[in-house]
Chains A and B, each alone.
Chain A
Amino acid sequence: MHLSESVNTGFLFLAPWLVFAPVVGLLINSIFGHKFSERMIGTVASLASGAAFVVSLLLAWSVSGSPEEALRWRLAEWIHIGNLNLDWTFRVDSLSTTMMLVVSGVGTLIHIYAIGYMHEDVRFKLDVGRFQRFFIFLNLFIAAMMILVSGDSYLMLFVGWEGVGLCSFLLIGFWYEMDTLARPSWANSNAAKKAFITNRVGDFGFLIAGFIMFYAFGSFQFDEVFAKVHEVPESVIIAITLFMLVGVAGKSAQLPLYVWLPDAMAGPTPVSALIHAATMVTAGVYLVTRSAPLYSSVHEAQEIVALVGALTALFAATIAVGQYDIKKVLAYSTISQLGFMVAAVGMGAYVAGMFHLITHAFFKALLFLSAGSVILGLERGHHHVAHAHHDKKHAKGKHALSKVEGKKEERGHGDSRAERSHSDSAGAAHGVEAFDPGDMRNMGGLRKTMPVTFWLYMIGTLALAGIFPFAGFWSKDEILLDASHHSQLVYWLLTVAAFFTAFYMGRQIWMVFFGEARHEASAHAEESKPIITVPLMVLAGLSLLGGALNLPFEGFHNLGHWLGHTLGEVESMPLNLQVAGISTVLALLAIFFSWLIYGRNPLKTGQVDPLKKPLGFLFTGMENKWFVDEIYQFIILTPYTKISYFLADVIDWKFWHDFVHETVIAGTYNWISNIALNDYADQKGIDAFANGLGVWTQNFSATLRKVQNGFVRSYALSVLLGVVFILGYLILK
């Protein structure tokens, strides 16, 4: 374990601070946060995350000295049972430091952004106290994610894996008592539960994989497992890798377990950016990459992984075309892009997958945060309009006060929440009509009112669409190139998905930023403050230049070489003009089509989507997510509910409770106690004995009583006889 003696380990001793820095941050905020100002809370949280980033940088520098070897820092003894020895060990190698940098780097930017975003969000939703809680959760997430990427064994990775799942649940349900439009409802908490439960299905697969692994390898530690890959039968490794794929499908939102991710958009936008786009959902990709020696040894499993990824990429991309919610489009886009990554790592193109993971973290975080800026802009516009409207009747300050109080009063009646959730008029009664600031049909023309956000969004879009020279172009192209060598099916699935990607992003740009405002809120939208836009600019810069990490030219495969130290020899292919050409032409074509449909004739207020007519039921399918939720409802949930009711009513209540417990057990018990024990054993046995003893005693004493005749002389005679008897005995004995 302690190889630190021989090798110069640099800053390795700082490794625990990857986890402890955010933990310290969240402790400070949870203990003292209620006294802090919002700026202070945000600063503490961002510094904690930033500290993790600095540690990641120092660790990366340390590992760059001798990148062939993984550095380990054993922090604590965890589980020692039999021959299972598990320690909390930090593994620092080129792969894990890459993930650490992405997580803490993007995470810190999002922390800073969230200071501005949550400042407004908690005010629009009228609960300022939750600002503190948000940053505690965010820091907890960074800590859990760091445990995940720095773990030295599958079990440590699993701890982080569950930790980020918990944070995801907490943050999706952050506004748990309302829906995405801030109406009283359990919609958000249901989304949180859906995410958690769907992830449980995936975790089941991961756990089974872990059990098999321990059975076959007798260890969870990465190096020990990988060293024995060739001693274990191939079928066992196939089982492990495929069960692991179930876990990957759950966490990284792949078919068929992706359904939770679109609903996860119920969380605040920084959460969507950090957890459900940039970092947590890539944990599955990281897991496959980390298990490269396992997956590389079984081609059947690899093919399945690649196919799952490619199908997901195309499937989710088609759904994204039919969505109206700005964040839902990005959510399906995330699923699609995760499909690209999973397909890449499935084909053994680990570097391409990781490369796309990094660039995707940049531009998808950028897109989500810009979408958050757009949503806030619309919220501001909406409130501006609402206030202007009311100011005609009331003095502004008085109105604002009474409105807040009215809302507070409404909150006070927490008991009637469920009741309120059924009446959408509850919000309207207080002057807040059900306005959806995330609906693209309410937008339009934001290019003029929010110019900074517009340009940032454009950069993110071009990067996602894979337009030269943005980061997405290089990473997506590398995946496509690998796919063209491995499997034509996967290649074409991904290429078509890339076409759709460019199309739905084009559609989004035209609908959101061009044309005329379709709602007075978007007409009055206001640009965000620098605390929101500056982190976006950094991300935009990364989205622009991120491709430089791994340019497909001789001497520029930096990421490839870097990761190659951990993943072994990785082939790095030169740029293939045919593949790059096809994807670029398709992307441009898709953007052109989107302009034809959405850009040339901008959508009017209340107009149906122009694609609906020509595509007919196909568009209906896209609009309704191919009815997957309904199918799940029909195939799984409804029968599940029915089985549950059957089990509850018939098996549990009628059979188990009424028959077994009531009739058999309680009946028998009653019979035994009443008839056998009470009537026979107790009454006729014990009682009869006790009563008989009493009766006999009475009778006997009645007999004896006759001796007590009250005549002194007869007593004296008795004494005499007694004396005579005793003396007679003594004398004659």
Chain B
Amino acid sequence: MIPINYYIVLSAILFTIGVTGVLIRRNALIIFMSIELMLNASNLAIVAFSSAIKSFSGQIFVFFVIAVAAAEVAVGLALIVEIFKSKRSIDVDQLSSLKG
């Protein structure tokens, strides 16, 4: 059996990659993918803990998260398409009209 620390470390690495992607990339699609990566990093951690404490509730929880994430993807992609339609770009740095 693989010790839980491995899963945690993997999850943390994936999450950090996601965060880094969100912070440094300008392409909205990449950022979106990075967010998915962070989401799945946390899913992995939850499933790992769930299996470690012998409880299904974490797995059910993750199941829901994946379902919601799918809906979120649909909304997010629709937003990106709309942004692209108006700006002809999906560079997030272009989207600064709310600047104070």
Contact of B69 with A by CB under 8 A: no
**Is A388's CB within 8 Å of the partner chain B?**
no
| Chain B residue with the shortest CB-CB distance to A709 | B99
B23 pairs with A710, CB closer than 8 A? no
| Chain A residues near B (Cβ < 8 Å) | 704-713, 716-717, 720
By the criterion CB–CB under 8 Å, are A707 and B92 in contact? no
Residue tally, chain B, CB below 8 Å to A: 14
Contacts of B99 in A (CB 8 A): 708-710
Instruction: Kindly report which residue of chain A lies nearest to residue B98, judged by CB atoms.
Output: A710
Q: Is the CB of B22 within 8 A of A713?
A: yes
In whole angstroms, what is the CA distance A717 to B99 when docked? 16
State whether A711 touches B92 (Cβ < 8 A): yes
Query: Once bound together, how far apart are the Cα atoms of A712 and B23, in whole Å?
Result: 9
Q: When the two chains form the complex, which single residue of B19, B26, B31, B93 contacts A720, counting CB atoms closer than 8 Å?
A: B19
Closest A residue to B95 by CB, please name it. Answer: A712
A residues within 8 A CB of B31? 712-713
Indicate if B96 sits at the interface (CB-CB under 8 A): yes
Across the two chains, which residue of chain B brings its CB closest to A701?
Answer: B100
Give chain B residues whose Cβ lies under 8 Å from the Cβ of A720. Answer: 19, 23
Known: A713-B92, A720-B19. A708 touches B98 (CB 8 A): yes
CB-contacts of B62-100 with A (<8 A): 92-93, 95-100
Asked if A716 contacts B96 (CB within 8 A), the reply is no
Report chain B residues within 8 Å CB of A706.
100
Distance of A595 Cα from B92 Cα, bound (Å)? 139
Q: Would you give 23 A-B contacts (Cβ < 8 Å), ordered by A?
A: A704-B100, A705-B100, A706-B100, A707-B100, A708-B99, A708-B100, A709-B96, A709-B99, A709-B100, A710-B97, A710-B100, A711-B96, A712-B31, A712-B92, A713-B22, A713-B23, A713-B24, A713-B26, A713-B92, A713-B93, A716-B22, A716-B23, A717-B23
Q: Compute how far the CA of A710 lies from the CA of B93 in the bound complex, rounded to whole angstroms.
A: 8
A639 to B98, CA, bound (A): 89
Question: How near does chain B come to A728, taking the closest CB pair, in angstroms?
Answer: 15
B residues 18-36 in Cβ contact with A at 8 Å: 19, 22-24, 26, 31
B24 and A710 contact, CB distance less than 8 A: no
Q: Which of chain B's residues have a CB closer than 8 A to the CB of A708?
A: 98-100
- B98 — which chain A residues lie within 8 A by C-beta? 708, 710
**CB neighbours of B19 from chain A (8 A):** 720
Please name all residues of chain B whose beta carbon is closer than 8 Å to the beta carbon of A707 when the two chains form the complex: 100
In the complex, the answer to whether A710 meets B22 with C-beta atoms within 8 Å is no
Task: Report B57 CB to chain A, min CB distance, Å.
Answer: 24
Question: CA–CA, A717 to B24, complex, Å?
Answer: 10
* Minimal beta-carbon separation of A172 from chain B (angstroms): 92
Tell me the nearest residue of chain B to A708, going by C-beta. B100
Smallest CB-CB separation from B26: which chain A residue? A713
Task: Note all chain B residues with C-beta closer than 8 A to A713.
Answer: 22-24, 26, 31, 92-93
CA distance A48 to B93 in the complex (A): 111
